[in-house]
Amino acid sequence: MKKKAFYRKQMIEQLKAMPMAERQRQTDLILDKLMASDSYKKAKSLALYMFQDFEFDLTRLFEDESKQILIPKTLPGRQMIFASYDKDSLTQSAFGIAEPNSNKAESPDLIIVPGLAWNKTSHRIGFGGGYYDRYLADFTGPTASVCYDFQVIDFEPESHDIPVNAIFSL
């Protein structure tokens, strides 16, 4: 079995090399599928992640005015909460990712879980901090991920890995 670090590096390289036209084509089709799903339609609050330029582009979801948008905030002890997104009230985390100034935890109706790779049992390889797996261990609501076609690969999950409920891809 190849290690997660290998897959992380491989996926970041593939994401960065993806042609912009193909990225946009897949993004539009995948977001159409997600936004047509029952879990998305029912959700009043949506937890998104602040995506890096090589990650799946969630701009369209951030612009959905019918949803309350929440984003992650990291806390001491490798913990995480979701707080209301306000583009004018963000600070840089220790990881260089924008996060809310607020420490008021909100409960999302649907979490869009980031990652670099997913397998057929909906387990994911994230960036290695374990923040989402720790949060999802106690979360009972629906979770989903969006990913490009090449990000679904075969790997063996580890015991602490928490699968998402649905993967939206091509």
Q: Is 132 annotated as a binding residue?
A: yes
Count of residues in the chain: 170
Q: Residue 60's closest CA among 24, 97, 84, 90?
A: 24
Q: Return the bridge partners of 92, or none.
A: 98
Comparing C-alpha atoms, which of 32, 103, 102, 108 is closest to residue 69?
108
Q: Is 95 annotated as a binding residue?
A: no
User: What pLDDT does residue 164 have?
Assistant: 98
Q: Domains along the chain?
A: 4-168 (3.40.50.10420)
141 is annotated as contributing to ligand binding? no
Asked if residue 130 belongs to a known ligand binding site, the reply is yes
pLDDT of residue 1: 45
> In the chain, which residues have pLDDT < 70?
1-2
| Residue 4 among known ligand-binding residues | yes
**Binding residue per annotation — 129?**
yes
pLDDT of residue 22: 97
Check the annotation: does 99 bind a ligand: no
For residue 5, say whether it is annotated as part of any ligand binding site.
yes
The residue whose two tokens read 């290695």 is: 128
As given in the structure block, the two tokens for residue 164 are 């998402």
6 is in an annotated binding site: yes
- Please tell me whether 33 is known to bind a ligand: no
Report percent pLDDT > 70 for the chain. Answer: 99
55 appears as a binding residue in the annotation = yes
Contacts of 87 (CB under 8 A, 6+ apart): none
Q: What's the pLDDT at 3?
A: 87
Any known ligand binding at 126? yes
